[in-house]
Chain A
Amino acid sequence: MNSPPDTDKVLDIRNLQVSFSSIAGATRAVNGVSLNVRSGEIVGLVGESGCGKSVTIRSIVGLVPSPPALFEDGEIWLRTRRGMTETLSLYKNMKALRQIRGRDVSMIFQEPMRSVHPMMTIGQQITEGILEHEVVDPAEAYDRTVEMLDLVGLPNPPAQMNRYAHELSGGMRQRALIALALVCHPQLLLADEPTTALDVTIQAQILELIKDLRERMSMSVLLITHNMGVVANLADRISVMYLGRIMETGTVEEIFKEPAHPYTQGLLASMPSLFSQPKTHLQSLRGVVPELAMAPKGCVFADRCPHVMPICDETPPVVELRADHSAACWLYDDVEASPGPDAATAQPSLGGDSTLGDASQRVEVIPLTKTEPTAHADQEKLADSDTDQLQIENVALHYPILRGLLRRQVGTVRAVDGVDLSIRRGETLGLVGESGCGKTSVGRLVTRLVEPSAGRIRFGADGRLEEITHIPQKEMKGVRRSMGMVFQDPLSSLNARMNIRNIVGEPLMLHGMAKGSAVDERVGELLEMVGLRAAHQSRFPHAFSGGQRQRIAIARALATEPSFLVADEPVSALDVSVQAQILNLLLTLQQQLNLSMLFIAHDIAVVRHVSDRIAVMYLGKIVELGNAREICVRPVHPYTEALLASIPLPMPGLATLQEMPKGDLPDPANPPKGCRFHTRCPYSQPICEQEEPPLLPFADAVDHFGACHFQDELHLQGVEEIGEIHGPAAAGGEE
């Protein structure tokens, strides 16, 4: 066993076992992981957070702090310039390990914002790496660094050499870090969630770059992500990891078309995609990743698996389904060679209202009613309640930029710069755009958390629309009773020092709607409504997981029985399965309570999934507005097209072909003249730099508006809906 693998492999991890010792005892974070990467291959390692992906990948290069880590078993073979090397045994020989780092294997990390040294120039940091490994004179190192910066697509490389981290955006930093990682031409790049912290458009650019560099530098890549979509168009093979174990390994086609392991199936079904039926429940995995110490014996997935059987108490075997496809699951124990029909029946049916679907949501989500909302039902509903609940007209929000000792105003950020929107009763309006384009500001304006600089806001609690633009806060308090708010970060939006009863009950007491034990009762109801236990009232926010905290935030927002809800990135900070649970919950509640909703997110797939209409926002302006599905199938504004193109589709081979938006979001304090998108627009014409296009109806379509000079001429590419398919995984079955 202790022999080097064949030379085709760049990396071969065999039966890796890593434990962490703590006062509470040892927990095994990586439990027998085997994984390999072949020459020129991109391998994706996918799984929810806390499953041991980072520990695995960091073990390869000795970046796991030990203690507390204990490497109990396994081998990690890495192809280096000196031949195959076992790196675990190098831990005691730091010098040898250091020679490998950066030269034979490199790594990029999740947080580009914090991964560049704040006090050294980009040039210093990259040349330092060259000089560490090679005997070259500084001038040559300098030239090579400039060349590398050019290769990763940073504009004006010589100028970048002297810049510091704070002068670069997140995307540019990640590019610089990729340059740093690759400057010594390693054969293997380890990428730990390299795009998770970035905006969707920037994520798409970085993924494209990694793909491109793989070819040009003939290297292999091991990419960690929790987002199935990211690997679909990038990876050749995928390993799915859960609680320290590999659940399934296969080629990207097999994993997406015939996912065998129930965990893989669940991950795929949890993702809202541009093909899913909007406003239907996602087939989410139930529950959350348990603490390592609480993992079930036998199959670690047993407590969340819809197919769990008595035999699952024992550790499942790794079954070879095909040459390059294996799964660790008892379902396939007797199938051996062909997963064939068994595999197919084993898949939970992903559409409709199968009993399996209900069962899988038994614990966390309230049982769904038989009549799931459909687009059809929505239209009927809209027709008979065609009154607006909220109207904003030409609203603006300008923040002064203050500098210096005297806090002089040196400029203005036009966070919102003349926006008209309306939301009908019972309707969900999705607001989408990159971060920094003003979405949150719109949400804060609507709820009057900030004072509008211009324009008019009208809101109808339950009857007529009333002007609330400048009403005093005292009156606004009454209006807020009809408005609920949910924010992105569930932890910081809940007061850590208050227990759940007071957090959820606070609005009730504030509005004098309940007192004493009546509060307890109502809070209990609310908690059950969002799928928590009424008995948990006395606990504090820290005792809950991210998803549960978001449920608490939703319960609080709904305490006063509002008719209108603003949800600002409510799922962005959550893992896919939890994200699906929260989206399902919002959809259910919206239907039950007939809520109108302003749903804000940067991910157009998520927005499409919950919205009736979508407004696309760019640098303080609405650039496109229309029916949710219509916008995704037939976008009229190039920015919408770009947003759609940046969504990694969970379907291999279906990469969108459009050009990615170039560069970063411009400085909102100094937006480009004319069409604000012209600096990044692939269709830009001279007129675009001069004249600002107004938001006009698109051709003959009712209710579809765009703000592009050429919207009637351009034929932009949307994402075609593929029939009436209900889930991403099922889409593969059409072949």
Chain B
Amino acid sequence: MKTYILQRFIQMIIVMVVVMLVSFIIVELPPGDFLTTLREQLTEQNVDPKVIDSTVEMYRARYGLGENWFFRFGKWAWSLMKGDMGYSMQHNRPASELMGERLSLTIWISIATLVFMFVIAVPIGMLSAIKQYSAWDHSFTFLALLGVSVPSFITALVFLLLSVTLLGATTVAGLFSPEYVTAEWSWAKFVDMLKHVWIILFIVGLGDTASTIRVMRARMLDTLGEPYIDTARMKGLSGAKIYFRHALRVAINPIISSIGLRFPQIISGSTIVAIVLTLPLIGPLLLDALLGEDVYLACSILVVLTLALVIGNFLADLALAWLDPRIRFES
């Protein structure tokens, strides 16, 4: 077990380092020195030359520009770890300022979507399998098929359309009511967000929830056909004990191990929805940065998202090991 955790941990570190290296290479790739570009930009904006000099000097020191690449990478990585995300050319502001709230919101929404997905999909899938071919099963099989096949931006558009035409809403989009958008965080703002967030969870999570229902149903059916379930039945156990104690833990395994993979899916899925509904998430910012060749911003976002993904994966691995003795004993 210990070696297993250690193994996974080392794997996680390796992935992180590789992603950072690649990002770093991309950052360094564009022709022309970053400092030259910065200086030009600032001059164009008629900034006081003294300020320009000091700003440029500050960045030179911070990123060790002019030193060898290894040193520069170290500096860059270190500043990333301290939360300094670099400088956005496009927006002319430090990247961390731009990402700020968006990042935490994105992570929270992703986690909430995951939870939403689990809470909805697992019981539905399980019940569909237990009551195979019942009306319940048929209706959810149909709904899940629908959910899988309709892209989330369509759902978002339909939602927009419906709320405008049916409810006559003027500001449907966004995470907050207009009066709170720029307001400071407060209890009222939080409550306001909760009012809006569920619909976003629904739209972003629909596809994943639907596919999870299908996976859960299929896995549960397979598991219920296993001979060890017959063994459990022959002990005289009740249905509930058989389903929850014996079948569920086997059936849910692949769903847990897919958490790590769901994460980037949710983020990319939410990007489209965020664009349609103008949500302050990280996705649109990343897209923007990529389109505008804003390398520092783009790479910082990538690194942070990778970190979230890798940690998610690691947690999923731990959960799996806790559930499944075969994994625990593997090493």
Contact = CB atoms under 8 A, between A and B. Distances in A.
Interface in A44-68: 61, 63
Interface of A: 61, 63, 94, 98-103, 106-107, 109-111, 114-121, 125, 128-129, 132-133, 164, 166-167, 177, 180-181, 403-405
Nearest to B226: A114
A-B pairs, 4 with minimum CB distance: A101-B236, A129-B235, A102-B236, A115-B227
B329 A102 contact: no
B235 A101 contact: yes
Given A98-B238, A129-B236, A115 B231 contact: yes
Contact of A164 (B226, B250, B326): B326
Given A99-B236, A107-B234, A111-B227, 14 more contacts: A94-B239, A98-B238, A100-B236, A101-B233, A102-B236, A106-B234, A107-B230, A109-B230, A114-B227, A118-B324, A118-B326, A125-B231, A128-B245, A404-B7
A495 B226 CA distance: 27
A63 B324 contact: no
Which of B234, B239, B249, B326 has the largest count of A CB atoms less than 10 A from its CB? B234
A606 B227 CA distance: 30
Contact of B230 (A115, A118, A119, A164): A115
Given A114-B227, A180-B231, A119 B238 contact: no
A101 B11 CA distance: 48
A117 B228 contact: yes
Interface string B231-254: 111111111000001100110000
A181 to B, nearest CB: 7
7 contacts: A110-B227, A115-B231, A117-B231, A117-B250, A119-B323, A119-B326, A166-B329
A99 B329 CA distance: 36
B325 interface: yes
Interface string B242-268: 000110011000000000000000000
A405 B246 contact: no
A99 B236 CA distance: 6
B331 interface: yes
A114 B325 CA distance: 15
Contacts of B7: 404-405
Interface of B: 7, 11, 226-228, 230-239, 245-246, 249-250, 323-326, 329, 331
Contacts of A177: 231
B228 A114 contact: yes
In terms of DSSP, what is the predominant structure of the interface of chain B? helix
Contact of B231 (A61, A116, A121): A116
A118 B250 contact: yes
Nearest to A116: B228
A482 B133 CA distance: 55
A118 B228 contact: yes
A109 B232 CA distance: 12
Given A116-B228, A116-B231, A166-B325, A405 B236 contact: no
Contacts of B246: 117, 120
B213 to A, nearest CB: 23
A523 to B, nearest CB: 39
A103 B236 contact: yes
Given A118-B326, A166-B325, A181 B228 contact: no
A61 B234 contact: yes
A119 B228 CA distance: 11
Nearest to B234: A107
Given A118-B250, A119-B249, A164-B326, A98 B230 contact: no
Given A111-B227, A117-B246, A166 B326 contact: yes
Contacts of A63: 230, 233-234
A398 to B, nearest CB: 23
B237 A98 contact: yes
Nearest to B225: A65
Nearest to A166: B326
Nearest to A192: B230
Contacts of A120: 246
B230 A102 contact: no
Given A119-B323, A164-B326, A133 B236 contact: yes
A140 B236 CA distance: 20
B231 A109 contact: yes
B289 to A, nearest CB: 34
Nearest to A128: B235
B234 A181 contact: yes
B233 A115 contact: no
A57 to B, nearest CB: 11
Contact of B228 (A102, A115, A132): A115
Contacts of B231: 109, 115-117, 125, 177, 180
Contacts of B325: 118-119, 121, 164, 166
